[in-house]
Amino acid sequence: MAGWTVGKKVLATALGMGATGGAGLYVALDESVKADLTLHPPKLPWSHKGPIDSFDHASIRRGYQVYKQVCAACHSLKYIPYRHFVDVFMTEDEAKEEAAEIIVRDGPNDIGEMFDRPGKLTDYLPMPFPNSAAAAYANNGAVPPDLSLMVLARHGGEDYLYHLLNGYCDPPEGVELGEGQHFNPYFPGGAIGMAPPLYTDIIEYEDGTPATQSQLAKDVITFLSWTAMPEHDERKKFGMKAMLVLIPFTALCYYKKRQYWSLLKSGKYVYNPKKY
Amino acid sequence: MYKASRFSPLASVIRHTVISLPTPVNISTWWNFGSLLGVCLATQIFSGLVLSLHFTAHTDLSFYVVIQSFGDVYYNWWFRALHANGASFFFIGLYLHIARGMYYGSYVFKEVWSVGVVILLLVMASAFLGYVLPWGQMSFWGATVITSLFSALPIIGSDVVIWLWGGFSVDNATLTRFFGLHFLLPFTVAGLAGLHLFFLHDQGSSNPLGVSSDFNKVVFHHYYVLKDLVGVCFFVGPLLGLVYFYPWLLGDPENFIEGNPLVTPHHIQPEWYFLFAYAILRAVPNKLGGVVALAAAVLILFYMPFSPKTSIKGLSFYPWGKVLFFSLIGVFILLTWAGSKPVEEPYVVVSQVLSFLYFFYFLLIGQLTRIQDKLL
């Protein structure tokens, strides 16, 4: 190895790393088929997935409509206040009107009594059940999880949720389901307490978009992506600006470094033995 | 009135540390990681301070406050993403810095090396404590698993665990003390980093050739100020890329579920930078044995200055030593992979073999280099 050229050494290193990585990848792929009984969701071309892609705000608005008319019966969005809707997919007046549809317990008033009032922008989306025990009782023992962070809280994110909503099918031969359970190959274990929630034309979109099952799923998941990542659009915009500064600055620093070092890098050491 | 002249003590320290410091002319990019780690530490302290302004260390509020701050506190999402991904980059820098030290024989600087290993231990402790604070599922269960390891200590184990927890389980008392310690430790690390530099500058940096460089040094400024600045740009670029475009790529989705003592996650695992140690811990079927192996995986670095000395510093001129070193890198990466897998076959056997190979490196490297020295 001492006599090897740089190219040979690089090749040997690359081959070694490639062999190690390849062996590891083979084992991982092989085992991933055997060890896991859950179907992995295929990747989908979400419109907001790219590094410079923003949310489809019309889709967020439709998705809120789906949530409100379908999902809100069982699932809460306890981290989302109505004021977050403003300038995202509703005007301030629309958001106020939306908030005013709910009744909120408030108080105490001047005489010490609790009272009910219409919702305001500062209120959070209402909980469908007063507590988790009531939620479990109403849903065959399974508590419908809060959806505010669901896109971030599951492996596969949007892809998993989309395929979960659309992936219901009859259980395969030999699979026993409990009473009230349904089979979904994407759900860990296969047996899910939620019945298929979406079907074509379950609601009518206010903007006239055909409410097919896949459209409903796509919109509600885009909405849930927004609830989990409200900073998404600003984050990517900020990122583009940062890269516009960082990349030229890096190039400039690299140039100046090479310029300062050029004298040392082009130096030569010459041995002039003494002539006696 | 204090006059900051070139003869003042503060100006003198700055001048001798980063301006006129004699530095070997031939140190490579691997020597950039020291300054990069300093940048990481400063970033973590700064972003952590800002996050602490809006954090409440209470089991009923922590998760809620962290999530709410995304929508309600201007740019808090940026500080959280920077802090979380900054921790990952801190460990990338640490592992590469240690690998450089092992390859080029930097451990012969006993004081520098020992302080460095203490810094590593404190940073690992700080990262563990910090991960508990958001009080997600992985925060809670990670805290439960790791603190429960102390119950393996003979006689005093269970009392130590209760003392650590501040109660009979991981609960509010644990969270508040973890917050206090997580706030304190980075400043200790900063002080130790200063000590690390103090010992280093006593002897001067080593260089890739492993020979004395006293006859050929240059001043730190501009040469290495610019080189370090380029290193910072190339390091910060991917960090900001993650922060802005893929902030949760390295995280665990389970930590976006509020911590629940009644629901155990299917796969409890730490962040990627602890997976190699996690694999070693789980490889030993005995609880105390696993804890000892976990501690030994990091503490074995203290042994390096006492390993057999070689004729030439470092592994640059020891071909079989290099093969063994890069095998160790492969073993480390495979241990990280194995740590993310469940405790089932074949991962158990794979972890055990890899753990053996990891420790075997430290036993074998001294002998291999000694054999080559005898052949010279």
Give B 53-112 residues with CB within 8 A of chain A.
64, 67-68, 70-71, 77-78, 81
Are the beta carbons of B237 and A246 separated by less than 8 Å? yes
A202 close to A67: Cβ distance less than 8 angstroms: no
Of residues B329 and A4, more confidently modeled: B329
Residue A165 identity (one-letter amino acid)? L
DSSP line for B116-167: HHHHHHHHHHHHHHHHHTT-BHHHHHHHHHHHHGGGGSTTTHHHHHHHHHTS
How far does the CA of residue B234 sit from the closest CA of chain A (Å)? Answer: 7
Contacts of B326 in chain A (CB under 8 A): 13, 16
Confidence check: pLDDT of A32 > 90: no
- DSSP states of B242-310: HHHH-TTTTS-GGGGSB--TT---SS----GGGHHHHHHHHHSSSHHHHHHHHHHHHHGGGGGGGSPP-
pTM higher than the cut 0.80? yes
Q: Which residues from A are below 8 Å from B243, CB to CB?
A: 239
Query: Same structural domain for residues B167 and B190?
Result: yes
Residue A169 C-alpha, separation from nearest chain B C-alpha, in angstroms: 25
Label residue A181 by pLDDT band (50, 70, 90).
very high
Q: How many CA atoms lie within 13 A of B221 on its CB side?
A: 7
Regarding whether B141 and B92 lie in a shared domain, the answer is yes
pLDDT band at A28 (very low <50, low <70, confident <90, very high): low
Give the span between the Cα atoms of B82 and B94, in whole angstroms: 17
Boundary-marking domain end, from B254, B281, B307: B254
Find the closest chain B residue to A48 by CA distance: B245
Residues B42 and B116 in one domain: yes
Residues B87 and B233 reside in one and the same domain: yes
Apex CA A113: angle with CA A108 and CA A119, to 5°?
Answer: 60
- Tokens 């031969």 appear where? A173
B9 close contact with A: CB closer than 8 A: no
Which of the two residues, A239 and A25, has the higher pLDDT score? A239
Specify if B14 maps to a domain.
no
Q: Could you tell me the two tokens for B109?
A: 């600087």
The pLDDT of residue A1 is: 63
CB contact, 8 Å: A155 with chain B?
Answer: yes
Residue B25 lies in a domain: yes
| B217 lies in some domain | yes
Domain membership flag for residue B6: no
Question: Which pLDDT tens digit goes with each residue over B253-278?
Answer: 999 999 999 999 989 999 999 999 99
- Judgement on whether residues B152 and B242 belong to the same structural domain of the protein: yes
Q: Do B287 and B225 belong to one domain? A: no
Which CATH number does the domain housing residue B196 bear?
1.20.810.10
Element spanning A103, H or E? strand A103-106
Annotated binding residue at A253? no
Answer yes or no: do B225 and B353 share one domain: no
Considering CB atoms only, which of A17, A157, A249 is closest to B233?
A249
Rounded to the nearest angstrom, the gap between the alpha carbon of residue B104 and the centroid of all alpha carbons in its chain is 19
Taking CB atoms and an 8 Å limit, are B330 and A230 in contact across chains? no
- What is the C-alpha R_g of chain B? 22
What CATH architecture applies to the domain A57-80+124-232?
Orthogonal Bundle (1.10)
* DSSP annotation string for A207-266: T-----HHHHHHHHHHHHHHHH-TTHHHHHHHHHHHHHHHHHHHHHHHHHHHHHHHHHHT
Does residue B69 sit in the same domain as residue B157?
Answer: yes
Q: Is there a contact between B267 and B342 (Cβ–Cβ < 8 Å)? A: yes
Given this model, what pLDDT does residue A47 score? Answer: 96
Give the Cα separation of B144 and B148 in Å (integer). 6
Low-confidence ranges of chain B (pLDDT < 70): 1-7
- Please check whether residue B10 touches A, CB under 8 A: no
Chain B within 8 Å of A270 (Cβ-Cβ)?
A: no
Q: Is A236 on the interface with B (CB under 8 A)?
A: yes
Among candidate residues B192, B226, B254, the one where a domain is terminated: B254
Contact between chains at B244 and A236 (C-beta distance less than 8 A) = yes
Pair B303, B214 in one domain: no
Strands B217-219 and B22-24: antiparallel
Angle at B367 between CA B366 and CA B368, to 5 degrees: 95
The residue ranking higher by pLDDT, B124 or A26, is B124
Number of domains present in the structure of chain B = 2
Q: What is the pLDDT of residue A10?
A: 84
The mean pLDDT value for A48-77 works out to 97
Q: Let me know whether B194 and B331 are in one domain.
A: no
Under DSSP, is residue B12 helix (H, G, I), strand (E, B) or coil?
A: helix
Residue B287: active-site member: no
Instruction: Give the Cα separation of A266 and A263 in Å (integer).
Output: 5
Q: Which domain holds residue B142?
A: 21-254
Q: What is the pLDDT of residue A25?
A: 76
Domain map (residue ranges) of chain A: 57-80+124-232
The reported pLDDT for the residue numbered A30 is: 63
Checking DSSP bridges between strand A103-106 and strand B217-219, what pairing results, if any?
unpaired
Q: Is residue B5 part of a domain?
A: no
What average pLDDT is seen over chain A? 92
Average pLDDT in the A101-112 region?
94
Give me the pLDDT at residue B96, please: 97
Confirm or reject contact between A12 and chain B (CB < 8 A): no
Distance CA A127, CA B291 (A): 45
Q: What average pLDDT does the segment A252-264 reach?
A: 96
What is residue A35's predicted lDDT score, i.e. its pLDDT? 47
B3 in catalytic set: no
B130 and B191 share one domain: yes
For residue B105, give the nearest of B30, B39, B14 by alpha carbon. Answer: B30
Whether residue B228 lies in the annotated active site: yes
User: Considering CB atoms only, which of B81, B226, B256 is closest to A152?
Assistant: B256
Q: Is B196 annotated as a binding residue?
A: yes
Of A1, A145, A253, the CB nearest to B230: A253
Q: Is the CB of residue A9 less than 8 Å away from at least one CB of chain B? A: no
Q: Which of B240, B246, B333 sits opposite A242 (nearest CB)?
A: B240
- Averaged confidence pLDDT in chain B: 93
Query: Do B70 and A230 count as a contact with CB atoms less than 8 A apart?
Result: yes
Q: Is residue B228 part of a domain?
A: yes
pLDDT score of A21: 80
Determine, yes or no, domain membership for B262: no
Q: What is the pLDDT of residue B6?
A: 59
Indicate which CATH number applies to the domain containing B309. 1.10.287
Q: What is the pLDDT of residue B72?
A: 85
Question: Is-contact B176 B57, C-beta < 8 A?
Answer: yes
The pLDDT value given to residue A22: 79
Question: Which pLDDT score is estimated for B155?
Answer: 93
Last residue of a domain, one of B254, B280, B297: B254
pLDDT at B71: 77
Same domain, residue pair B88 and B191: yes
